[in-house]
Amino acid sequence: MEVSIYNTMSRSIEPFIPLEKGKVGMYCCGPTVYNYAHIGNLRTYIFEDLLHRILTYSGYDLTHVMNITDVGHLSDDGDEGEDKMERRSRESGMSVYDIAEMYTKSFFTDTSALNIITPDVTCRATAHIGEMIGLIRRLEKNGHTYISGGNVYFSIDTFPAYGRMARLKLDQLSSGARIEVDENKRNPKDFVLWFTKGKFENQTMKWDSPWGVGYPGWHLECSAMSMKYLGESFDIHCGGIDHVSVHHTNEIAQSEAATGKEWVKYWVHGEFLIDETGKMSKSKGDFLTISLLKEKGYDALDYRYFCLTGHYRSQLIFSWDALSAARSGRTNLKKQVASLIQETGGKKTEISSDAAQAVLDEFNGHITTDLHVPQALAVLWKLMKDKDITSGEKLSLIEMMDSIFALDLLKEEKKESEPIPQEILDLVQKRAEAKKARDFALADSLRDEIGEKGYTVKDTKDGAEIFRNM
RNA sequence: GGUGCCGUACCCAAGUGGUAAGGGACAGGUCUGCAAAACCUCCAUGCAUCGGUUCGAAUCCGAUCGGCACCUCCA
């Protein structure tokens, strides 16, 4: 199936044409594992997962690579920067490696709860120091580097296309407006490839290199690892929108300066999740995590559903009300699917009717056009209400759609069937008797009493159902 | 200072030239002693404001107001 996607490089939706027919190499910037991921971070991985699923669904043989940043990501630019991992280590008393392991694990716990498919390759920066040193040597050989104040810098003046994707106007950037200019830089936009100086006294992660003992600059790892696993040119590079102007700009510069080739064909960026006050960030006090959502009674997939209702290139406004709406939506969807399963005994039917085929075509059209997932979701709702399509066909269609949505629509909810206390059962029994005697005042007061004790009773045609209140 | 984005109902949100998707909430109905559930129905002549282009504008252009992001670290 043909896929089109918005390319940040051209600022337009382009037909996707892979470098090698039928195959796709995709690299996505992964987490820096110095803290828990907040739900804004995770929105980006949900969007990348949708792209992953859509490419696979469309018949491509996909290789999806994601890095784990466990070194070199500074909290600030310039000499004042401190490695985020090291800072966390200093603050917590744990070793940097323990921190990396702990937060890597929690990251994958979150992504797994969100039904995000684990990339084919996940690679740690600290396991690829050799590749990074190799890349610096290539840049050095091509005359793109200089050493100043002990650090190795990339010289952007040696790369005329610098800032092309971000459309930076270098002469008009107000460098130093918000940060101190690094005196060692020839051009304020130059960036460090290898640190041997800086806030370094406590750095525990360091390696020997031709330029001295030190550690790599943050941007370097993505270039080095993506080329290792996907080759010197590959199809798709994803990440958050915030990476366009610095991180990806620098990645492009150092990669293309090293190889002399176009590095990435399609750049795909996901917009931010924001709240009423604007962007979510880890430095802005408390941040929202999947485990917090769970504590408040939401399923991780309620959040996934919420993300599916907005387009990946638009900001999405988070609120508890909006999340509750998503939870209700997903719950209703699941209920309707469950009743379809009950009705058919779970038997799916091959799609044969014109009506069903039309729904499938519409769905396919949406997902293969720049990830128009919100419209695809609307198609699912239309399908649920359709009166001409048989239940068996519906189930087949739902299964196909959910291979993209990944909302576990066909999965039966396992109810934790805690035993109902005898006390409650007695009250329910009493109420049933009161109802039978048409003493509704007593029945209602008994229902209130049951409610006070934390249970809800609902009458069905097969008698009373009892639920524990959440 | 430079760059870019956004403003659609009570909330979230889709829609980039052909007459406003979808979800949630609300309201009404069927059913039920009532409630809940389920099902049905209703829900923006309107897309920040003002002009312009066009047979036709939420969509294109200009201005204004309001909000946000990036040019430090960030998904």
Nearest Cα to A47, choosing from A28, A65, A33, A34? Answer: A28
* Strand B contacted by A163 CB (< 7 A): no
* Strand B contacted by A459 CB (< 7 A): yes
CA A388 → C1' B34, Å? Answer: 36
Cα A360 to the center of its chain, rounded Å: 26
* Strand B contacted by A144 CB (< 7 A): no
How far apart (Å, rounded) are the C-alpha atoms in residues A248 and A153? 16
Task: Kindly provide the b/e burial profile for residues A298-325, where b requires at least 16 CB atoms within 10 angstroms of the residue's own CB.
Answer: bbbbbbbbbbbebbbeeebebeeeebee
Tell me the two tokens of residue A440.
């509704």
Ranges of beta strands (E only) in A132-233 are 145-148, 151-154, 191-195, 215-216
Q: Find which nucleotide's C1' atom is closest to A74's CA.
A: B73
A335: Cβ contacts below 8 Å, ≥ 6 apart: none
Which ranges in A231-353 belong to alpha helices (H)?
247-259, 290-295, 300-308, 320-344
Nearest Cα to A307, choosing from A115, A29, A57, A67? Answer: A115
> What's the pLDDT at A375?
95
3-state secondary structure of A204: coil
CB atoms within 10 A of CB A56: 16
How far apart (Å, rounded) are the C-alpha atoms in residues A16 and A26? 13
* Strand B contacted by A161 CB (< 7 A): no
Tell me the two tokens of residue A337.
């699917």
How far apart (Å, rounded) are the C-alpha atoms in residues A159 and A162? 6
> What's the pLDDT at A202?
62
Amino acid at the residue A391:
S
DSSP A371: T
CB atoms within 10 A of CB A53: 19
What is the ipTM metric for this complex?
0.94
Which bases of chain B are under 7 A from a protein CB atom? 1-6, 11-15, 21-25, 32-40, 67-75
* Strand B contacted by A173 CB (< 7 A): yes
Q: How many residues does chain A have?
A: 470
> What's the pLDDT at A418?
67
Nearest Cα to A235, choosing from A226, A244, A248, A243? Answer: A226
| List of A residues 343-382 with CB within 7 A of strand B | 372, 374-375, 377-378, 381-382
Tell me the two tokens of residue A461.
């045609």
- Phi/psi region, residue A35 (left: phi>0; alpha: psi -120 to 50; beta: rest), is beta
pLDDT values of chain A reduced to their tens digit, one per residue, 470 residues: 899 999 999 888 999 999 999 999 999 999 999 889 999 999 999 999 999 999 999 999 999 999 999 986 666 544 456 777 788 888 888 888 899 999 999 999 999 999 999 999 999 999 999 999 999 999 999 999 999 888 999 999 999 999 889 888 776 655 444 455 667 888 888 999 998 876 555 678 889 999 999 999 989 999 999 999 999 999 999 999 989 989 999 999 999 999 999 999 999 999 999 887 766 765 545 578 999 999 999 999 999 999 999 999 999 999 999 999 999 999 999 999 999 998 888 899 999 999 999 999 999 999 999 999 999 999 999 999 998 899 999 999 999 999 999 999 998 766 555 677 888 888 888 888 888 888 888 888 888 888 878 787 877 666 777 777 65
CA A220 → C1' B70, Å? Answer: 21
Amino acid at the residue A73:
H
Q: Are A18 and A280 in contact (CB under 8 A)?
A: no
* Strand B contacted by A328 CB (< 7 A): yes
CA A39 → C1' B75, Å? Answer: 9
* Strand B contacted by A67 CB (< 7 A): no
| List of A residues 224-253 with CB within 7 A of strand B | 239-247
> What's the pLDDT at A413?
67
How far apart (Å, rounded) are the C-alpha atoms in residues A64 and A60? 12
3-state secondary structure of A71: coil
DSSP A271: P
> What's the pLDDT at A176?
41
How far apart (Å, rounded) are the C-alpha atoms in residues A216 and A133? 8
> What's the pLDDT at A200?
57
Crossing angle between the packed helical segments A354-367 and A373-385, to the nearest 10 degrees: 160
* Strand B contacted by A467 CB (< 7 A): no
DSSP A412: P
- Looking at the C1' of nucleotide B33, which residue has the nearest alpha carbon? A440
* Strand B contacted by A415 CB (< 7 A): no
In Å, the largest CA–CA distance within chain A is 94
| List of A residues 280-309 with CB within 7 A of strand B | 280-283, 306, 309
CA A296 → C1' B14, Å? Answer: 28
CA A332 → C1' B43, Å? Answer: 20
Q: Are A51 and A26 in contact (CB under 8 A)?
A: yes
CA A453 → C1' B33, Å? Answer: 24
Q: Are A73 and A32 in contact (CB under 8 A)?
A: yes
Strand-pair partners of A368: none
Q: Find which nucleotide's C1' atom is closest to A175's CA.
A: B71
